Amino acid sequence: MALFDPKGARAETRQVAGKSVAVLLAPRLVRRGFLHDVFYGLKSLLTGMRVTLPYGLTTSRIVTRQYPENRGTLKMYERYRARLTFIRDGQGRHTCTGCRNCEKACPNGSIIIETAKGAVTGKNEVQRFIWRFDACTFCNLCVYTCPFDALEMKGDFEHAVFDRRLLVYNLNSYAGPHASLWDKVEDEEQRKTLATKISPYDGKVPLAGTSMAGCPARAHGEGGAS
Amino acid sequence: MSVFSPAAVIAAPQVFEVKTLASRAATALPGSLLESALYVLLAVVWIVALLALTGLALIYLERKIAGHFQCRLGPMRVGPHGIFQTVADTIKLLVKEDFVPDGADKVLHVVAPFLALTATILLLVILPLSPILQAADMNIGVVYVTAISGFGVMGILLGGWSSNNKWSMIGAMRAGAQIISYEISATLALLVVVLFAGTLRLSGIVQSQADGWWIWRAHGVGVVAFVIYVIASTAEINRTPFDIPEGESELAAGFHTEYSGIRFAFFFLAEFINMFLVAGFAATFFWGGWMPFHVGGLDGFNSVMDLVPAGAWFAAKTSALVFLVMWFRWTFPRLRVDQMMRLEWKILLPVGFVNLFAAALVVLYGLYFFPGT
């Protein structure tokens, strides 16, 4: 029985097409005696058993999590992606300018943005940032393309609902300017008129070709106020 | 204070008197037929209880240990830490449809799992769990063990043959080749112990280890025989790395592909009890069975060891060996058929013969520990 002896491998430099190339020479396959093979085999089996024993005897290497029981303490991994949300400052303001980069980047039309010119600021302001949780593939492209770091994928879970319409909703909690435009408006009275509160389900949800009761089908990107 | 006197206990080394249930029944027979019948009934209940409870415990343990070896938890839901998982699975298997595939040999298909389980039960009968917990004992115990463990392959062969399925057929044929081959090495290893003990009776073999277990008293040849026996018996019970007859990746489930419900449960139970039996016999032959850890001549030490009951010694040794077999399963990769055959015929068999010859010399010249006793 020929056995591979890793100690027999040696490195050397060879001339290949005018260049010196470092090569690792595989050792010669050597034929050893019967007893050597038996003891070598037993030794390698024991090595394997030594590797697996700590796994079998200890509980510290177990990676399984007892999900419903540990939901209070369960932390998802940093790279786990689930719910798309606006990053908000302390006053609940987002930084989305409604530039639609994310809408264009989205591979399956899960993001539809409605914008309007703000009466006070004269700039584009997000009226509704509609996200289709039911269609989203969590590819994270919207987060990558956002020039203003307005979006993030939250690591929360348990999003199951009984009606899929509940999965199409507005990310923004107010229709109005983004955070830096607020600061430019100095008049206190004017500031109060900047934003209108909206709920996640305000307005019709454009179902991108699908119709549901109370909500006719619309083409992709066709937003429009209800 | 006066009730327990360590000096009195240590002064008198324990003498183990073997009383099997069968011998009790035989002794009681002339006096009272009823008492004798009760002993027989007790033996039957004992075997059935041992079969059922060991099966439940081992399947649960296997799944738990498999889980831990794979960084999982194993069953956790049914009962605390999943202790009722096997019970739930058993109930599920019992209520499942008892299915005989089209074109199968119906009679053989139905009979096969019972044959497999029968061999297991027949072996349980003779396993000495403690001086008083042994259903029957016989003067040709080792021959009986070898014969019956070879009989178990009948169930597997018939099951595979009668299923009318090529996977089952191949699996059964592999099992036949494997079990019959490894039977030889296992027997050669047992013969070493028979040489040392000078008896084929299982209780006699256990009692012959009153001065020390054969694994160390017979030093070199004992260890080699033990290793051969563990390897060969692992192959005999079709466990990884010798699970070629089942070979999930190549044969679906091997000989029990077409079995479901209670008859699959029988095959499964027989497999797990066989693991217990193999561990039990390895403990009996090499690790002293229920005999406490004794060193010849050290009566004080031996008396201290006798404080642990014999049954506990057997349980501890068997558990350790069962864990060893499970440990094998979650460490070693499966052998190929030709590798399996080469291991037996080119390695284990020659080594076994040489070892047997060496053991004969060791016995002849009294080169082992405490030969005089």
What distance in Å separates the CA atoms of residue B69 and residue A61, rounded to the nearest whole number? 9
Name the band, by pLDDT with cuts 50, 70 and 90, for residue A16.
confident
Residues in chain B closer than 8 A to A51 (CB atoms): 331
Q: B327 at the A interface (CB within 8 A)?
A: yes
Domains and CATH numbers, chain A: 2-57 (no CATH), 83-197 (3.30.70.3270)
pLDDT of residue B60: 92
CB A125, CB A115: distance < 8 Å:
yes
DSSP state of A78: T
**A66: nearest CA partner in chain B:** B76
Q: Specify if B40 maps to a domain.
A: no
pLDDT for the residue A144: 92
Chain A residue with Cα closest to B350: A34
User: A1: pLDDT confidence band, cut at 50, 70 and 90?
Assistant: very low
Cα-Cα-Cα-Cα dihedral sign, residues B287, B289, B295, B300:
positive
Mean pLDDT value of segment B362-369 = 84
To the nearest whole Å, the CA of B68 is away from the closest chain A CA by: 5
Please report the residues numbered 75 through 114 in chain A whose beta carbons come closer than 8 angstroms to any beta carbon of chain B: none
State residue B187's pLDDT score. 92
Q: What distance lies between CA B226 and its chain's CA centroid?
A: 14
Contact A56/B347, CB-based, under 8 Å?
no
pLDDT band (50, 70, 90) for residue A141: very high
Whether the per-residue pLDDT at B322 is higher than 80: the answer is yes
In a domain, B29, yes or no: no
Q: Greatest CA separation found in chain B?
A: 75
**pLDDT grade for B355, boundaries at 50, 70 and 90:** very high
Distance from CA of A11 to the nearest CA of B (A): 32
Residue A13, φ and ψ in degrees, nearest 5: -110, 135
Indicate whether B1 pLDDT > 50.
Answer: no
Higher per-residue confidence, A120 vs B322: B322
Are A62 and B69 within 8 A, CB to CB? no
What mean pLDDT comes out for the span B331-353?
88
Asked if the structure places residue B68 within a domain, the reply is no
Chain B residues whose beta carbon lies within 8 Å of the beta carbon of residue A38? 347, 351
User: Is residue B122 within 8 Å of B148, Cβ to Cβ?
Assistant: yes
**A119 near B CB under 8 A:** no
Could you tell me if B77 lies within 8 Å of chain A, comparing CB atoms?
A: no
Interface test with chain A among B63, B68, B230, B355, by most A beta carbons within 10 Å: B68
Query: Is the Cβ of A57 closer than 8 Å to some Cβ of chain B?
Result: yes
The whole-number average pLDDT for the span B282-304 is: 84
Which of A38, A52, A66 has its CB closest to that of B69? A52
**ipTM associated with this complex:** 0.75
**Contacting residues of B for A63, CB less than 8 Å apart:** 71-72
Instruction: Report if residue B75 sits inside a domain.
Output: no
User: Can you give the pLDDT at residue A61?
Assistant: 85
* Among A19-23, A25-29, A76-80, B319-323, the least confident range: A25-29
Reduced to 3 states, what is the DSSP secondary structure of residue B129?
coil
How far is the C-alpha of B282 from the C-alpha of B128, rounded, in Å? 12
pLDDT of amino acid B356:
93
**Which of A45, A53, A55 is best to mutate for the B interface (most B CBs within 10 A)?**
A55
Residue of A nearest to B330 (CA): A52
Distance from CA of B235 to the nearest CA of A (A): 16
Write out chain A residues lying below 8 Å of B347, CB-based.
Answer: 34, 38
Q: What is the pLDDT of residue A22?
A: 85
Flag the least confident range among A206-210, B252-256, B352-356. Answer: A206-210
Residue B205 resides in a domain: yes
Lowest mean pLDDT among A11-25, B62-76, B189-203: A11-25
CB contact under 8 A, B347 and A48: no
Confidence grade of residue A226 (pLDDT, cut at 50, 70, 90): very low
Local confidence band at B11 (pLDDT 50, 70, 90 cut-offs):
very low
What whole-number distance in Å separates Cα of residue B212 and Cα of residue B313? 13
Whether residue B351 lies within 8 A of chain A, CB to CB, comes out as yes
Q: What's the mean per-residue pLDDT of chain A?
A: 80
Name chain A contacts of B335, Cβ cutoff 8 Å.
none
Q: What is the pLDDT of residue A212?
A: 56
Residue B373 lies in a domain: no
C-beta pairs of B215-219 under 8 Å, 24+ apart in sequence? B215/B286, B215/B287, B216/B369, B217/B296, B217/B368, B217/B369, B217/B370, B218/B192, B218/B193, B218/B359, B218/B362, B218/B368, B218/B369, B219/B368, B219/B369
Identify the residue among A39, A64, A67 best suited for mutation to test binding to B, counting B beta carbons within 10 A and taking the highest: A64
pLDDT above 70 for B164: yes
CB–CB contacts below 8 A, A to B: 46
Q: What is the pLDDT of residue A192?
A: 78
For residue A6, the distance in angstroms to the closest alpha carbon of chain B comes to 21
Average pLDDT score over residue span B184-210: 89
Domains contained in chain B, number: 1
Identity of the highest mean pLDDT range in B94-103, B216-225, B314-323 = B314-323
CB contact under 8 A, B72 and A62: yes
**CB within 8 A of B255, min separation 6: which ones?**
B156, B157, B159, B160, B163, B168, B171, B172, B175, B245, B246, B267
pLDDT over 70 percentage in chain A: 83
Nearest to B71 among A48, A51, A62 (CB): A62
Question: Shortest Cα distance from A83 to chain B (angstroms)?
Answer: 28
pLDDT per residue as tens digits for the range B202-218: 888 888 888 888 888 88
- Cβ proximity of B82 and B74 under 8 Å: yes
The pairing of strands A83-86 and A151-154 is antiparallel
Residue B373 has a pLDDT of: 56
Q: Report the DSSP pairing between strands A124-132 and A111-117.
A: antiparallel
Mutate to test the interface with A, among B70, B231, B234, B339 (most CBs of A within 10 A): B70
Task: Answer whether B80 touches A (CB < 8 Å).
Answer: no
B302 three-class SS: helix
The DSSP element (H or E) to which A197 belongs, if any, is strand A196-197
Q: Is A46 on the interface with B (CB under 8 A)?
A: no
Task: Find the range with the poorest average confidence among A21-30, B34-43, B170-179, B327-336.
Answer: A21-30
The stretch B156-178 carries a mean pLDDT of: 87
CB–CB contact A55 B71 (8 Å)? yes
Q: B271: domain range?
A: 105-365
At residue A128, the pLDDT reads: 85
* B15 domain residue, yes or no: no
Query: For residue A75, is pLDDT > 60?
Result: yes
What distance in Å separates residue A45's CA from the closest CA in chain B? Answer: 8
Cα three-residue angle B38-B42-B43, rounded to 5 degrees: 120
CA distances to B1, B18, B208, B296 from B305, in Å:
22, 18, 17, 12
| Mean model confidence pLDDT for chain B | 85
Q: What is the band of B324 on the pLDDT scale with cuts at 50, 70, 90? A: very high
The continuous run of DSSP H or E covering B43 comes out as helix B33-69
φ, ψ of residue B243 to 5 degrees: the values are -85, 40
CA distance A46 to A37: 14
Band the pLDDT of B8: cuts 50, 70, 90.
Answer: very low
**B65 shares contact with chain A (CB less than 8 Å):** yes
pLDDT at B372: 67
B347 Cβ under 8 Å from any chain A Cβ: yes
pLDDT at B9: 47
Residue A2 has pLDDT above 60, yes or no: no
Position B44 in a domain: no
